[in-house]
Amino acid sequence: GEVTAVKGSANVKFLEYNLTTGVSSPATINSIKFASYVDYDGSTGSNTFKRNYGSGTSYIDAKDVVTQLKLYSGNQQLGTVESIDTSGYVTFDNLGWTIPADSTVDLVLKGDLSNNAYFNDNADRVAFDILTTDASYTFIDAVDQDGNSISTITAQRNGTLTNAPTAGTASVTETADITMDSNYSYVTVQNTGTLNAYSYSTPANALVVSGTDGVTVLRVRFHATRENLTVNKLRIQAKHAANYRALEGVTLSYTNSAGQSVETAPQAIIGSGYAQFTGLDLYVAKDTDSILTVKANYADIGPNVAYTGDPVTLAFEDGNRASSFEVVGADAGSNTVFYSTSNSDYVAATPPNDTGYINGNLTIVKKTIPTFTKVAVTNSLANGTTELYKFTVSTAEGSITQLKSLKMYVRLNDITEAGVSSTVQDFSVSKDGQALTFNTDYTFLNGYAPATTTTDCLALDGDSTCNGTLTAGGDDGTNGTSTDQLVVLVFNSEQTIESNDPVDYAISASFSGLGSTADGQDSVIFYLAAADAASSTYGYMESSSDTYEKDYVALASTSAGTSEAQANYVWSDYSGSSGDGDHGTVELTSNDWTNGYLLMGNSLGSGYGNTLLQP
């Protein structure tokens, strides 16, 4: 089949035969002659190769493409280095190579490609053949153990002969055409190797604690073809122009040409928001992959440094210019050098994800990050007060989390006889085993009113009273049956969680009308809301929102309470409005509140809910 190599390459394998001797005698081979063939323009539409093209400014011969050749059997070189003559032949003589009787050995022809190949800005294709149909030529000069010439030699032709040479002649103007396909062996000579870049197993979007180093944010898979390549220069771009301040440096990890793992020294973000790396030895072997890992070092939150909520996305920039990206051939003799990858596995041109980049994940800088962990509830569902859900809130070391509000969902499933409906009301919360006080420490809101209504809150079952009652619909499929109802917990006095003091919370409610029949048991499903689906740019907490009604907590974009947004979770990392630590719990005073985007833990969402059954 076809072998692709790059001009200037050495020891390229052109052809391989198996030689088999008869059972009666060993054979000594004195000389072997090969005919060469060339397709000067590398046309993929034509598979015709000629032995010599003759005169003409655009014509080339195989000897122009292949500078010298060597013959091998196994690791043993046979004879000396030879070159193609003006007639298109290369002869290896004075071999004295003896093959034992009834044996099979390999015969491999290798050659070096000219640095001037890729003539006329086209790929060159070259093939060799050990035999022709011209019986007057002796392509293999061999004798048996008695010194008698071996005249009966059969061999498989490399290619299909379509224009046989004139018998007994070897004129330079003589043509000998062969047609090649995948069943035959030939080499296509290209100008350079190619390097493709792909996104590879990039980490998920995440919150990151400020001051953290070595966070993996991007992986790029490089794939080389035609030759071994080395990336010695590349650029990593920070995609959020206003927030370069959140990065202290960028490091790269990769495997070098010696097979060693390398991690660079951190490079600062400079210029228009990039880290430039030079003097690299990122090795990509031919037809294999090499992985580049990009890590970020984050600045501490502080005045005029990083602010809470700063987004960071790092991207590999192809650049297509010598100042930012450079690839060279890794092997001796290679003249390859280019300044861009060969593919376009890049994102659409939507800022900050511009064309020409492979983007890493989004990270958002926080002074601390709360984690929600589910705690098992072992009790059954019963009339009266029943504990529904327990969870622990912890925070990263060295800082404080304040929790203002979170959403929950409840579903009543009533299967008892008609006329008897289960109800739930009077949600309550305890902290570390101690009951908190309703309307002093917390408020439960049964949903929220759209801006078009005038009620303070939309209660369960449509009741306009806050902390109203949810009645199951019995067998008629109305509210409460297969319907998740929103419950919002608002802490009137914000809950403070310190890094060395996790807090346990338990949610309870009062039930009535519960029962069971032969068909089954009444039940309730309860779970915390999932993390918010998108990042919030609103940093002010507003507990008396005009848009979302009285006492419903919202986030606002300014201290004037404009551009409000609801959230599944409202919390603060206690960093202050400009990283100054001046945190405020009075609404609209501190720009360090946020929603629940990317919050982690094994308690958020319906997948971590509790189902309690009436015994």
Whole-number Å distance between alpha carbons of 401 and 251: 30
Q: Are strands 177-179 and 140-143 parallel, antiparallel or unpaired?
A: unpaired
- Cα 54 to Cα 35: distance, rounded to the nearest angstrom: 15
* 110 lies in the same domain as 234: no
Average pLDDT over residues 221-238: 94
Last residue of a domain, one of 336, 366, 396: 366
**C-alpha distances in Å from residue 413, one per residue of 99, 109, 612:** 88, 80, 10
How much is the average pLDDT of 426-430? Answer: 91
Please check whether residues 160 and 215 belong to one and the same domain. no
Q: Are residues 177 and 229 in the same domain?
A: no
Does 483 share its domain with 588? yes
On whether both 387 and 459 belong to a single domain, the answer is yes
What total number of domains does the chain contain? 3
Same domain, 284 and 201: yes
Span of 47-56, 270-279, 360-369, 439-448 with lowest mean pLDDT = 47-56
- Structure confidence at residue 134 (pLDDT): 47
The answer to whether residues 267 and 295 belong to one domain is: yes
Report the chain's mean pLDDT, rounded to a whole number. 83
Same domain, 276 and 414: no
Asked whether the predicted pLDDT for residue 574 surpasses 70, the reply is yes
pLDDT of 133 reads 46
pLDDT band with cut points at 50, 70 and 90 for residue 479:
very low
pLDDT of residue 480: 43
Tell me the residue type at 173.
T
Q: What DSSP state is assigned to residue 579? A: S
Closest Cα partner for 307 from 241, 237, 364? Answer: 364
Q: Could you say which of 190, 223, 251 is where a domain stops?
A: 190
Query: In this structure, are 272 and 383 located in the same domain?
Result: no
Q: What is the pLDDT of residues 280-331, one digit of tens each?
A: 999 999 999 999 999 999 999 998 889 999 999 999 987 667 888 999 999 8
Q: What is the mean pLDDT of residues 195-199?
A: 91
Contact 316, 282 (CB under 8 A): no
Give the pLDDT score at 470: 63
CB count within 10 Å of CB 433 equals: 7
Least Cα distance to 587 among 557, 548, 561, 567 occurs for 561
d(CA 338, CA 231): 10
Query: What pLDDT does residue 444 have?
Result: 82
Are 40 and 58 in contact by the 8 Å Cβ rule? The answer is: yes
Provide CB contacts within 8 A for 571, sequence distance 6+. 370, 401, 402, 403, 404, 593, 594, 596
117 and 259 belong to one structural domain: no
CA end-to-end span of the chain: 74
Q: How confident is the model at residue 243 (pLDDT cuts 50, 70, 90)?
A: low
Looking at the fold, whether 347 and 236 belong to one and the same domain comes out as yes
Which residue range(s) make up the domain with 544? 370-613
pLDDT tens for each residue of 481-513: 557 778 889 898 899 999 889 999 999 998 888
pLDDT score at 544: 63
pLDDT at 449 over 50: no
Query: Which residue, 143, 173, 190, sits at the end of a domain?
Result: 190
Q: What is the pLDDT of residue 348?
A: 41
Q: Residue 49: what are its φ and ψ, rounded to 5°?
A: -115, 145
| Residue of 201, 197, 252, 213 whose CA lies nearest to 361 | 201
